[in-house]
Amino acid sequence: MSVVLTTSRAFSSCHAAQKILTDAGHQLKMLTPQKPLKADELIHQVKGVSAMLAGLDEINADVIRAASPTLKIIARNGVGYDKVDLNTAKENNIRVTITPGANSLSVCELAFSFITGLSRRIHLMDKSVREKSWQRVSGIELHGKTIGILGTGAIGRHLAIRCQSFGMRVLAYDLFPSQELIEKYGVEYITDLNVIYSQADFLSLHLPANNETRHMINQSTIAKMKKGAFIINTARGELIDDDALYIALKQGYLGGAGLDAFVAEPFLDERFFELENVILTPHTGAFTKEAADKTLIIAAEEIVRALSGKENLFQIN
């Protein structure tokens, strides 16, 4: 009997995903940590397991070697895999899979919530009512505004469609433009990021973190943006230089920011806690019941495929 280690809290309540694995004859070893596990925490849990259904845990070379030779697959219940050492996994013949598209709608809806929330300063007015000061704060309409969407994969695509329906002009950057977005929704693809920076009232990030994108939002790029523009990040914290963003928010050059992804989590940079033009959420873009169930079911199915010797649908290494 193969042992499957699960580290997602949501897995404990997803009976459909559990059933997929147990019906296939696998034994479950369920962990329910309050936050993603660090490598030194995982090392003691992986010995003897055949598969991992993992969240945003740190699965480095030491963890993978500790799990070898029994580990056959690391199934991420999400699309990000920067916390997984792909090279070491490949060297040890361990498959790594993701769950593309399963949580894209939920992440998109959070990004759009940041846009509407920041445009009307909802967080400030909620605070004023609770403090009995009854202070109305003037906001802006979205109709006629321009949004720049960097990355039009599943999440960016959903966001473009919703912004267009609100009467926004949608500028987009992607190495592989979507003809559907162009022809059906009037999305304008721009190859020069500087054009998007200079014209966007809102900038929403939906790119992976790599050498090319790390700190792409920095002092120089922020200076090219409109005064009063807003930045939304539901992708990866590495995309933004926090020091440059803080200064721009503190000085009022940027209108605000909605941040759901951070380099270090939990996010402990108290400078941002004092700012009234930023909304912070604890990497919760995919944290809906619907998204959690879909990602866990797909990840469980990938584990069953791997442990039965079949090809995986979403293997990345």
Q: Residues, the chain, total?
A: 317
Q: Write the pLDDT tens digit of every residue in 165-213.
A: 999 999 999 999 999 999 999 999 999 999 999 999 999 999 999 999 9
Sole residue written with tokens 């056959």: 72
Q: What is the pTM of this model?
A: 0.83
CA–CA separation, 261 and 114 (whole Å): 13
| pLDDT computed for residue 41 by the predictor | 96
* Domain-wise residue ranges, the chain: 3-102+288-307, 104-280
Instruction: Look over the chain and give the mean of its residue pLDDT values, rounded to a whole number.
Output: 96
The architecture CATH gives domain 3-102+288-307? 3-Layer(aba) Sandwich (3.40)
Tokens of 170: 């949608």
Average pLDDT over residues 302-311: 98
Which residues are known to be catalytic? Answer: 236, 265, 283
Domain 104-280, second-level architecture: 3-Layer(aba) Sandwich (3.40)
CA distance 140 to 53: 43
Sheet arrangement for strand 230-233? 188-189, 169-173, 146-150, 202-205, 230-233, 256-259, 278-280
Quote the distance between the C-alpha of residue 188 and its chain's center.
Answer: 24
What's the confidence (pLDDT) of residue 78? 85
- The 10s digit of each residue's pLDDT in 40-55 is 999 999 999 999 999 9
Q: Kindly state the tokens that stand for 117.
A: 């929330």
- Indicate if 104-280 has the same CATH topology as 3-102+288-307: yes
Q: Cβ(2)–Cβ(50) under 8 Å? A: yes
